A and B are shown apart, each in its own frame.
Chain A
Amino acid sequence: MPEMSAEQQQALQEKLKSMSPEELREFQKQQCIFCQIVAGQVPAKKVYEDEQSLAIMDINPAVPGHILLLPKEHYAIMPQVPEKEIGHLFLVSKYLSQVLLKVLKAGGTNVFVANGLAAGQKAQHFIVHVIPRKEGDGVLNWEEKLLDNNIRLKVQQVVEGRLNELLGVKKEVVRAEMKKAAVPEKEKGKEQGKEEPLSGKEEKAEEEKEGGEREKEEDEAEPEEPGKEEQPQEAAEKGKSKKPEKKREEKEEGISLDDIAKLFT
Chain B
Amino acid sequence: MKCDYCDLLERNDGILYQDSEVVIAVKETALTPGQITIFTKEHFTILEMIPDEILAKCATVANKVGIAVFESLGAQGTNVIIQNGIPAGQKIPHGALEIIPRREKDNLPLQWKPQQLMDEEMDTAYLTIKQEADKLVDIGKRQEKKQVVIKPEKGKIEAEEGKENYLLKSLKRMP
List the A side residues contacting B56 at CB < 8 Å.
Answer: 86-88, 90-91
Q: Are B78 and A115 in contact (CB under 8 A)?
A: yes
- Minimum CB–CB distance from B31 to chain A (whole Å) comes to 5
Sample of 16 more A-B contacts, CB < 8 Å, known A144-B31, A162-B71, A232-B148:
A64-B124, A91-B139, A107-B87, A108-B88, A109-B47, A121-B77, A133-B85, A141-B109, A155-B36, A159-B26, A160-B16, A166-B67, A197-B32, A243-B164, A263-B86, A264-B93
Interface range, A side: 35 or more
Interface residues of B (CB under 8 A from A): 1, 14, 16-17, 24, 26, 28-36, 45-50, 52, 55-91, 93, 100-104, 106, 108-117, 121-122, 124-126, 128-133, 135-145, 147-149, 151, 163-164, 166-167, 170-171, 174
Q: Are A238 and B93 in contact (CB under 8 A)?
A: no
- Minimum CB–CB distance from B28 to chain A (whole Å) comes to 6
A156 within 8 A of B: yes
Q: Are A262 and B174 in contact (CB under 8 A)?
A: yes
A27 within 8 A of B: no
A260 to B47, CA, bound (A): 11
A262 to B72, CA, bound (A): 39
Among B48, B58, B74, B121, which residue has its beta carbon within 8 angstroms of that of A97? B48
- Minimum CB–CB distance from A26 to chain B (whole Å) comes to 24
Q: Are B67 and A211 in contact (CB under 8 A)?
A: yes
List the B side residues contacting A59 at CB < 8 Å.
Answer: 122
Q: Are B82 and A111 in contact (CB under 8 A)?
A: yes
Q: Are A87 and B16 in contact (CB under 8 A)?
A: no
- Minimum CB–CB distance from A126 to chain B (whole Å) comes to 11
Among A91, A131, A197, which residue has its beta carbon within 8 angstroms of that of B52? A91
A183 within 8 A of B: no
Q: Are A140 and B16 in contact (CB under 8 A)?
A: no
A68 to B101, CA, bound (A): 22
A2-10, A35-43, A77-85 - interface stretch: A77-85
Binary contact track A128-167/B, C-beta < 8 Å → 1, others 0: 0001011101111111111100011001101111111011
Q: Are A87 and B57 in contact (CB under 8 A)?
A: yes
